[in-house]
Structure 1
Amino acid sequence: MAAQQIEKSSFPPLFDVGAVWRTLWQRRLTVLASVGVAVLLAIAYLAVTKPTYTATASILIDPRDARSTRFESVLPGIGPDSAAVASQVFVIESRDLLMAVFESEDLADDPEFTDGGLLSFLGSDGAGKDTAFKRFEKRVSVERAGLTYVIEVSMKSESADKAARIANAIVDYYKAGLAGDRENANSDVSALLADRVGSLQKNVAEAERATGDFKVRHGLLDAAAGGTLQSQIDQVTVQVIAARAGADQAKDKYDQALAAGASPAGLARLSQIVSSDSIDTLRTDYNQRAAALASAETVYQSRHPTIRRLRSELEKTAGLMGAEAGRIKQELNAKYDLSMQTVAALEAKLETLRETSRTADAARVELRRLEATAQAARTVLDDVLKRAEETSQMRGLQLSEAKVIGFAAPPVQPTWPTPLLLLPVSAALGLLVGAGIAVARGPVERGERDPGPDPDEAAITPLASRRVPARSEVVPISLGRYELPGLASAGASSRIRAMRRRFLQRGGEAFSQETLKLVRRILALLTEHAPPYVLLVSPLRNAPDAKLAGAMIGIGLQQAGQNVLVVELSSAPRPDQPDAAPELGAGVFINGASGLPTLVRAFDGGKGRREPFVLGAGLADAGDYDFVLLLGPSLADADWDAALFPDVERLLFVLDAADDVAEANGLLHQRLGNEGAARSATLVLDAERAAGAANDSVVRWRRSAR
């Protein structure tokens, strides 16, 4: 849409501060009334609201655990963990702790917590201990001071002393609860350990008894009590070795005796093996008789009786020697057999002891298990007895890690309500609400009674030139007063060129802003539809004023990126063709002064007759433009009629600075009536004053724009 395109492409901001300010100024009574009502409500609230005092106590959760002994605490401190410290906030806010304070301070009958206020009048249940406790709970605030170990406990109450007393009571109950938890933990552990001591002692006795019975049953004696099975095995092993050695020795002697035979020479060897007196005697007797025989044989013949007697005695001695050798062999054989029997018996005993040892090894495994069980039971009993004694001695020695670093004191000033905060805030809210209502209602219509002068209109038209219209009259909208560059005595083309230069040259921003502001005001009067938008610009009396105003509006629209066509309506027909079609010039041309596309059309059909200007019939290519500005005849012309411009959407009438506004409004109402005046607007053109005055005008218009 054209209006939207102008807003997007124009230099001023989209939000028209000047229009809002004018609306607020026109509706200032509404704004002031809203502020007054808000302040009165705040004062009434201050009058009826009871003051609330807040008392705060500070607790330090010291993570360091003071130790008076080397004993390990049953219940250790909270510790340095941040989450553990933060959880203490919920401990203090717990229902059990707050209920204990609520009951100890006898707050169930306190009117501050039992009075339901407005709720009691509305019929809701405002009584009861639970309801009073909920109100009390809402007054308590527990917060951790940042990431520190400090917890702040606050209490709100209508009494400063009561707020401090309750805050300190909450802190005291919390500290007592921490100490009580430790003492209760010590007591519970001591009782539990005392119950366990009896059962542990019984377990130790049963384990030791089972160990002893097992030793006796399996013959597992201690070395100090008479030897063990292994020592017996060692002894029998030594005996077996000795028996085997004796048997081997007896066997050797027997074999040697068999090898020696029964001859005297054998007996000589046998005497080396066995020490025997009989053999030695027989061998001596044999040697003597042999010597006697040999001696006798040298004397006597072989048949001599002495020789025979000696031989007989020698043979008898040899027989006795053989018999003795046989007896010795039998004795050696018997000793050998006895040694072998001893070896067999000892080996059997040794095997029995070894079998018993193998059985005892398995029994020792079980014995070690029983001994380990007994030792473990004994160790646990010792630990429990030691811990029970430590726990009993820890009572009263553990210090609380919660320290009060700031007791709650009765506050001097109430925390709510605070007049220094409430009154300015209420005034600000009233101002915002009043401004919102004023903006929502919009600017004051001309049909309404204006409570005071608009600051822009006051600068546009002097109060002396105003007249108060009748209540039934519709006053045309005033678009303001504008000072155009150039000399007032110069022609219209010269002033238009000066105006265009002011647009383009540096330092003309103020004039450009005011021109574009005029364009936005005109667009605000239009209804959105497909282009082109047709505007009629007519002077009140001075015909050049229409060209000046049309050029100003056209240049402003062109600077905003709109396609503008200026149509100059001429009343003079061509003298050479009085009956020709109402057309002057060859077509659309660029005006050298304004730089705008311009078309000249004859408005008078000839022979004193004026026909309505129809856009479609009068201008075939009008659809190529966004805006068409018709520069019409003067309103003071007797033949001026609004019916001649059926396609015009808005009628813009240009006044000179010397024109009386009241007179001009009366003339407009006379020519147009209420219906025509409702779609009309006026603007005043004046020559630019001196530099100082011009600067004052620029400042005034900038202030109006804000």
Structure 2
Amino acid sequence: MTLTDPSPGAAVRAAAGDIDIAAWIEGLRRRAGLFVGAAGLVGLIVLVALLARPPVYTAATHLQINTRKAQVVAGPAVLSALDAEAAIVDTEVEVLKSPQLAAAVVDDLGLVRDPAFNRSLRPDLLARLTGRAPPASDPAVERQRVIEAVGRRLTVRRVGLTYSMAVGFTADDPVKAARIANAFADRYLRAQLTAKFDANSQANAFLGARLEDLRRQVEAADAAVSAYRIDHGLLSAQGATLTEQEISVYNQQLAAARALQAEQDARLRTARAQMAAGSNGDDVGEALNSPVVQNLRGQRAAISTRVADLSVRYGPLHPDLARARSELSDIDAQIQAEIRRVVSNLDAQAQVARQRTASVQSSLDVARGSLADNNAASIRLRELEGEAEAARAIYRAFLDRYRETDAQTGVEQADARIVSRATPPTAPSAPKPAISLALAVVLGLGAGVGAVLAANALQQGLSTPEDVERRLGLDPLGALPLADTVAAPDERDLHPIDLVVQRPTSVFAEAMRGLRAGLSPPAAPVIPLAAPSARIVAVVSALPGEGKTTTALCLARVAARSGARVLLIDGDPRRRGATRMLGLDPDAGLAEVLHGAAAWRTVLATDPASGMQVLPLAASGLSADDAFAAPPMDALLAELRQAFDLVLIDTAPVLVMADARVLSARADAVLLLARWRRTPARAVSAAARILHASGARLLGVCLTQVDARGRSLHGHSYGAYPHEAYRKYYAA
């Protein structure tokens, strides 16, 4: 047997589940009258309201973002053109909707004086009735109201995914609508041109003022460079300083002097080497090239020829021969003297070359020292030159930009163009009968659905077993139909407790058997309610009038007709519902048994229709004491549990009497009944909490008196089929 959790948190957990769409649809179908009434009323009101409006006309001007620009002058514009992107087009749509643009159109067209937009100019019915003039309003407030009214009638949209925009305006006059739509487009293009012209003017003014400052900065930087050059002797010519040019000259002179010195030293060394080697100087290069030596050698050659001739003619002692030989000796001495002079001259020239090289080297060292000083000063000079060059570059850049912006003034182009201007429409844009009818239908349907949903949301009762599980968190045990809604024509005069006996194959009787099966544990073989674990079942309800006594009697009769030993105890001492419904008027009953005045076997009554036993309540034995909580009641239930297969206790309502919770705590299981769509869910939940607090073992909740006509029954006993679908089955 499955026992449910009737704790307060169970209902909260159940309510947190998904919305039951089928329940909402069922509620919509059940409240078809409410739906039709609300939908028809709202739809009619909307349709009348829409068609009663005065006709209005909408004119549209089409603009397009320019994707190609005419390049009149070179250079980028101060205010760049718009990129052909989706975000840019959407931004321009918002610009067209801006209050600033609407204010400009209002001022251009003088719409403040138009009664269609200025409410203060319209006739005031109250003022005419009272004979008093309306109070004067602030002109600024009137203008702002007109701007807002114009903005509300303006529609700007992007045409699909193109770069085109449609600017529409709605007015009571088609000519006025076209004029205002064109005015918005013209003002928009004019605003673009004005923005570009103002940007160019501001740029020119800024660049002009900045150029003057930059020119002074360039002059100051150049003056600083010149002054520094003069102060530090860094004057230059042909791209180099004078010191650098001087060093270059000294380097050339030093190279020449060293070459000359090397040449002179080489000649001197060669001559000395030849002389040291025993040469008489005839082979010395300088002597060979000396004209004096060459002349003397010519004279010696002549004298040598004469000596040879004289030696042939005369003897060695001849005076002419001796004289000739003496002349030859003088000539040789002169030649040797000349050679010695030549060698001495070579030495002198070498000395001069060395001195000249040393002099040039000294001058070069001095110049290099000056260059080192100049290089130290050049660091700062380069800084000054860099600053001057940077200032000059900035000045040139600003000057070029100034010339470009000055050339662009007057040739600005708008970023959009008018593709087609608005023309006065020939037909009103509203009201349109087809659209008005469609809107009335949609709003009417919405109102109908809303009314049904509101009614369903305000419904406090339980409609289906799924509601029990979703809203209360309790196990649903089925749904018992109202007997009149499922009974055949010849069965409608029968009481439900007689219907289950006289028409055992009826829908109502089958519903009772289904409830009995739902109360049973799965493992029960023949008579489930006779299982030892649930021999005593208390049938309770939250409030009176929920069919608790009728259900208990029907269950008892159905169980008894199946062969079980069944006892029904009337546990409602205030109403004695079961006793009265069976037509019993005993002299002694349950109260006398509990007080010890009678034995329970002697007061039992037998139901002749089903064979069940009844423990009634006698009218004379009623008392206000708490007899059900006394030990005699426990002893009685223990004896009855052994004597019968099933004991059903018809108790008082849980929320009304305390007897119900006392008997429920002593029963093996409790069946809680709730009247279909009548018993509030919070009352059932409160009853479940009370039973849980008293220690009762609640099986679940069963809905009673369900109207099965024209609806689906969602329960353990019937499935999800309309009653008409299986009526013929039970009638067969």
Please tell me the TM-score bracket, short chain as reference: 0.5 to 0.7
Contact 1:57 1:152 (8 Å CA) reproduced: yes
Name the CA distance, whole Å, in 1 between partners of 2:51 and 2:386: 88
Note the 1:203-352 alignment, pairs <5 A. Answer: 218-221=235-238, 232=249, 235-236=252-253, 239-252=256-269, 255=272, 259=276, 266=280, 268=282, 271-272=287-288, 274-277=290-293, 279-280=296-297, 283=300, 300=317, 324=338, 326-348=340-362
Question: Are positions 1:80 and 2:84 aligned together?
Answer: yes
Give the secondary structure class of the aligned counterpart of 2:415: coil
Distance in 2 of aligned mates of 1:123 and 1:41: 35
Q: 2:187 aligns with which of 148, 173, 185?
A: 173
1:363 Cα deviation after fit: 9.5
Q: Matched residue of 1:266: which SS?
A: coil
Deviation of 1:239 after TM superposition, in Å, equals 2.5
In 1, the alpha carbon distance for the partners of 2:200 and 2:252 equals: 61
Tell me by how many angstroms 1:534 deviates: 6.3
CA displacement at 1:101 relative to structure 2: 0.7
> Do structure 1's residue 115 and structure 2's residue 129 form an aligned pair?
no
Structure 1 distance, partners of 2:599, 2:583, is 10
Aligned residue pairs total: 542
- Whose Rg is larger? 1
SS of equivalent to 1:128: helix
Q: Which runs of 5+ in 1 are unaligned?
A: 443-477, 514-525, 538-548, 575-579, 631-681, 683-695
C-alpha contact (below 8 Å) 1:142/1:152 kept by paired residues:
yes
Determine whether 1:101 maps to 2:105.
yes
Name the CA distance, whole Å, in 2 between partners of 1:489 and 1:309: 202
What is the one-letter code of the residue matched to 1:131? R
User: Following the alignment from structure 1 to structure 2, what is the Cα–Cα distance between the partners of residues 106 and 65?
Assistant: 35
Gapped regions of structure 2 (runs ≥ 5) = 7-13, 15-21, 128-133, 460-481, 516-539, 570-577, 589-596, 653-704, 706-721
SS at match of 1:628: strand
**Post-superposition CA distance 1:513-532 (Å, at most 9, x none):** 9xxxxxxxxxxxx9835999
Could you tell me whether the CA contact under 8 Å between 2:296 and 2:334 is conserved in 1? no
1:663-682 correspondence to structure 2 within 5 Å: none
TM-score (norm 1): 0.52
The one-letter code sitting in structure 2 at the alignment partner of 1:280 is: R
Partner deviation per Cα, 1:215-239 (whole Å, 9 max, x = no partner): 996343279xxx9768746753552
Alpha-carbon contact 2:28-2:449 (below 8 Å) kept: no
The answer on whether the counterparts of 1:257 and 1:273 sit within 8 Å (CA) in structure 2 is no
1:673 is matched with none
Whether contact under 8 Å (1:573, 1:602) holds in the other structure is no
In structure 1, how many angstroms separate the alpha carbons of the residues matched to 2:493 and 2:223?
A: 139
Seen in structure 2, the aligned counterparts of structure 1 residues 314 and 535 have a Cα distance that, compared at 3 Å, is closer
Partners of 2:604 and 2:512 in 1: how far apart? 35
Summarize deviations over 1:194-253 as a string: whole Å, max 9, x none.
Answer: 777788888889999999997996343279xxx976874675355224412442244236
Correspondence 1:66 to 2:69 = yes
Equivalent residue, structure 2, for 1:628: 650
Alignment map for 1:533-544 (pairs within 5 Å): 535=549
On the 8 A contact 2:57/2:171 being kept in 1, the answer is: yes
Superposition pairs of residues 93-492 of structure 1, within 5 angstroms:
93-115=97-119, 128-144=142-158, 149-186=163-200, 218-221=235-238, 232=249, 235-236=252-253, 239-252=256-269, 255=272, 259=276, 266=280, 268=282, 271-272=287-288, 274-277=290-293, 279-280=296-297, 283=300, 300=317, 324=338, 326-348=340-362, 377=392, 381=396, 385=400, 388=403, 392=407, 395-396=410-411, 398=413, 400-404=415-419, 407=422, 409-410=424-425, 412-415=428-431, 420=437, 483-484=487-488
Amino acid at match of 1:65: R
Q: 1:100 Cα deviation (Å)?
A: 0.7
In the superposition, relative to structure 1, how do residues 16 and 509 fare at CA in structure 2: closer, same or farther (>3 Å)?
farther
Q: Distance in 2 between matches of 1:217 and 1:18?
A: 105
8 Å CA contact 2:44, 2:440 repeated in 1: no
User: For residues 338 and 377 of structure 1, what CA distance do their matches in structure 2 show?
Assistant: 54
Deviation at 1:97, TM superposition (A): 1.6
**Partner SS for 1:500:** coil
Distance change (3 Å), C-alpha of 1:235 and 1:187:
same
Cα gap change, 1:292/1:376 in structure 2, threshold over 3 Å: closer, same or farther? Answer: farther
Q: CA deviation at 1:103?
A: 0.6
Q: C-alpha offsets along residues 121-144 of structure 1, whole Å, 9 cap, x if unaligned?
A: 999968532333333334434444
C-alpha contact 2:512 2:558 (8 A) present in aligned 1? no
Secondary structure of 1:501's counterpart equals coil
Equivalent residue for 2:95? 91
- TM-score, normalised to structure 2, is 0.51
